[in-house]
Structure 1
Amino acid sequence: MNKILFRKGVIIGIILLFIGASITPLTLGIKKINITKKTISTRGIIQGLIDNASDGDTIYIPSGIYYENISINKSISLIGEDKNTTIIDGGENGTVVYVLVYWVNISGFTIRNSGYGQWPEESVGLCYVGSPYCSIKDCIIENNFYGILFIGYGGCNYNLIQNNIIKDNGIGICFAHAYHSFNLVCNNIIYTNDIGIIIQSCNYNEIFSNNILSNTEKGIILGSCICGGYNNKVYHNNLIFNGDENGQAQNEDFDNFWDDGYPSGGNFWSDYTGVDNFSGPNQTIPGSDGIGDVPYEIPSSYIDEEDTYPLMEVLYGDFPPIADFNWTPYLPGPEDEIFFNASESYDYDGSITQYEWDWDNDGVFDESNTIPTTTHTFLEAGYYQIILRVQNNNFEYDTKTATIHVNTPPEALTITGITSGKPNITYDFTFNAIDPDGDNVRYIIDWGDNNIDTTGFNPSGADVIVSHSWSETGSYEGSVYAEDEYEAKGNETIFTITIKKSKSIQNPILNWLQSHPNLFPIIKQILNLIITQ
């Protein structure tokens, strides 16, 4: 009964979605804009067009970079010229695109660089708030905390997420805690997010025909609570290299479907270790059928779930390359030679033939190699966005962007304090170092008597007073260095303190002055003459 209801709901949703999409341009006006400037830094251009549109309008946006956060409160179609070159950039501030109404169709954009706050208004690439009958197609969603988020207790139902590239987000797609139902997630490439897809306490959604690769924590999570979360269906996806030894997916819902029955089958799992010697609904008939003989187990805290019919081979052909790189030293200084290594880039069903590097984030690749390693030097301190682009043997591309901090360590520090003193008397020492980048600084002090002090961080150039005493006579060689908040260390400074036998001073006032020599420098000199004679 549940399966019949599931399929009926999905079919009705698809029919309504396409009826709405087909009626709108026929019955209502179409607005088309013409912007010739290819890189657009002025905020508010797209929002202004939306504000002047009417329900049912179609707005075409030409290639360019649009730095703005937009809110869609009308049933419109928003179409970009090319998903690779028509970019809505949130500038790491807030949610990039809000959808607040029914029947909004978005296609042909890169939507990137949301903020990274706790709440949806701070951290989403594309946020739907109680918005049913919408579609998001042929877009790139990247570098957001949430890539696509559905929220609102009114329910985001009968939406279509299709043919998108969703990468490098915290969570790729999230149906948040509410009754979002009868949504389709299909034919997307979802990779290098922390989590690929989360559906929390939602019902009757389908996830099928997606490539879900290299998501750090999990490829798919189906979650639930007392509100529900059941009859979601996951099938015909390729799940490759997601998560860790605890599995690529997780099921916390009450009852879901992780396959499409026999003989249609379930999903391809790169970590499946079963064999294919039998066939049939119960996998008891001799002979292979492309389906594993034992189920793929889906970890769960509540109800054990499984893909009963895991596929032995990947589906629908070609996979894109996956770009990734690292560098050493991780925190270089100006003029340091930095070693960049892209050998963790891969292509699951092909090979990477070219590695290109853009060192200054100007869109022009400065270096091209057939090997994954190279070196580069930055002459000045600062933050630099590095872009790696890899190409596979089918001329498909992927890019990876990372920010490297070139950091100048603190300059030589100064020490003010005694050079000789007496046992068991506490002395004040003043340390001061300037960090060229203005970073906060702390001091790591080895007093030469097996005692080491580490101060807290203080502003660059601020005096920091630290007190110490020695219990035995002798000559102590100490050392100190300044370290900024990014762990860049300045040069070590060596100092020597000679502790001599005390000459008895009975006067309590003189004893107090001797223990606080920096308060009265002239008196300190007099006391040193008295006690060293």
Structure 2
Amino acid sequence: MKMKKEIMCISILLFLLLLYFRVDVSRANIIYVDANGGKDFTRIQDAIAAANNGDTIFIYNGIYYENLIIDKRVTLLGEGRDSVIIDGGGSGNVIIVRINGVEISEVSIRNGGPGSAGILLDNADYVTISHCKIEGTYYGIVLSSSSYNTIRENIISNSGNIGIHIDAYSHDNSVYHNNFINNGVHAFDNGYSNMWYNEELREGNYWDDYQGSDSDKDGIGDDPYPIEPATEINKDLYPLIQEYIGIGILHLQAIPQIQVPNKSVNISCRIVSNVNIKTAYVNITFPNGSYLQHNLTKLGNTSYYYFNHSYSLKGEYYYYVYAEDIGNSSITSDTKKFVIAYAPHVYFSYSPLQPTDLDTVNFVSNSYDSDGSIINYTWSIYDPILKKAIAKFYTSSFSYRFPDNGDYEVSLTVVDNDGAWNTTTKTIEIQNIPPVANFSWELLPPYYGKPYVGQQIKFYSQSYDRDGEIRIYKWNFGDGNVVVTGSNYTIYSYSKNGVFSVSLTVTDNDYGEASITKSITIYDIFPPSIENLTAYPNPQEAGSSINISCSIHDDVAVAYAWLIVSTPNGSIINVTMNFTGNEYFYKFVFSDPGNYSYHVLTSDVNGNKNSSSQQYFNIIVPPSPPSITNVSVAPDWQVEYGSDANISCLVIDNVGVASVVIELNGNKTMHGITDAMGNGLYYYVLEFPSIGSYTFKICATDVNGYANSTSYFEFTVADTMPPSIEQISYKKYMLQGWQNISCNIYDPSDVYEARINVTMADGSYINESMTKGSNYYYNFSCNATGIYYFYIWTMDTIGNSGRSKLYNFSVT
């Protein structure tokens, strides 16, 4: 079985070698892809990369896990759509076509990504998709800005969203003889002039959800099939009642298309049908009007047919193929042509040889025909970025100015008096004219005569671009900082003085660059600033340290900071201050009491000096601890159980209070409402203390460590209040029957007893204990009519008792 398959493949290859035998002017080639190896490539995308425009990529049976991008005018031909599978792996579009004139047939496409297509035509015209299977993708086929395409004889099934989607920018597409099966929506056409049927055949597509009838049994539905969005135009006028399994002629071609006299031309095609072919012939019309009709030869057990013949008469030959199967389905191909002649020689030149996008380029044909004359010139200028021709000319020479820099493909096709043609293509590089860079600057206020550290400077570009515009401005300020902006100016300030090289690099819309560098001198003109100069504590006790501190800032750097102190005896102390960052300090210990003055002198690294104002501090003797007065416990040293105890005092020190602590069930820090020296009211709140007596004392320490404490104080916590009776509930007016009286009773020491006293309407009374549940309640029967009076009495576990007010209710 394996040997038979190999023989068949070799036969097909031999046939294809014959089929695609060519002369130089055809420039066609065949590239073979086999996933199992042994051919030109194992991956289809690699074959596309190696292909030239006009090549055929033949794909052998197998599964190809790829996402293809077709950007060359090639034919993608599978060995059979049931056996050549292109699997997108669940990611992205399976095939994207981005060029005109592509053909795709005899492949199965599946497993695209979420929201993606089996085949996406992206700005692609004149594409043919035929005899393919597209299944299990989100979109089957999507046409985006794509026109004049043909989609026929495909099976589009199980699309999660839409089988074929045509956007608003696509028009004049032809869709027929396709089978739409089990798609979310079979088709959506938002474009215009698209045909969902073949008008000549009066046949459309098969739709598995078509509900119309076929009263005349001709296989065509009586009613049109609406295409979403439903309009009068969006319709398949000839929907098929059964799935399309008809006959088809694929890849009809004559190789070579231009042949010299008395040499053979091979006409070949592929004829497909679900049943056997009984008739297949080619009809060829000669230049003199005579014609030849000849049966096609079938290659072995394949679907390939061919006719090989030589011709002596020069001129244009027109041919078509007719085929009919045993089910009497027939088809006639479109008419095509080949030429018997000596092809003309095609050449052209242009000047200047290195054009820019501001130059007018002159093109001249140097073509000639050895056995006749050239009668037609067709020039095409193709933009690979836009993927389309941007200009065409039909004279032997022309002049053209290209719209922008870049590579363009300029093609010249010449046709001679015999109808033979030849084409040549050159890539013309159109160069960009780079921009011109220049800039200047201006100083922003406040002004001090020259650029200084910290001053805002406006740098603005004076650059220009002759053939476009400047898009990017890159400023390098020479101090390690770079600014990239789309604006033609920027504002910058330097943090140090010196001479800096400022560079501007501009980039135009074509990515051309130009640079320029200029020098700027930045001066340091401001002395350091001195802020928050203080002596702490002030006053200070003799023998204890005093810290003099300040903040010093400079726009460049501080060189030194001197602290100068004048003592009460007239001596001067000059020391260099210590610092951490911008914070400067120095600590002294003085034993002589009196008034001291001090100031700070500082300079930056460039000699700019500053001096603070004169400040003062006092040294006092003798040292003394803080005073503690006005000790109290609220309320009145007697705290009701269930309330907070607020202990407070007044603490004063001549230097500064460091801490105040209360000794009460351990040491606890008191909170203060004080001035800057810590003098003021201090308090501590003891929350919900238990019943009993409490002793405490207060200790205060100043900033030099001198401490003072009070004697012990005592206060008591007692329960002196009776329970509270709240939320009394009862029926104020009732008929004879049961009355329920309830209330809530609260006491911090807990409730010992609750009783109710009721005076009945007949004068008798009851005095009973109330039942405790979620609250306290008492139920009793009221049989006598009249007014009833009651009150509630309660007592806590301490013995405090009380009663509610007198209440009444009426029984009728």
Q: Same fold (TM over 0.5)?
A: no
**What TM-score, normalized by structure 2, do the two folds share?**
0.25
The structure with more helix, counted as a fraction of residues? 1
Which structure has the bigger radius of gyration?
2
Tell which has more relative contact order, 1 or 2 (C-alpha 8 A, sep 6+). 1
The structure with more strand, counted as a fraction of residues? 2
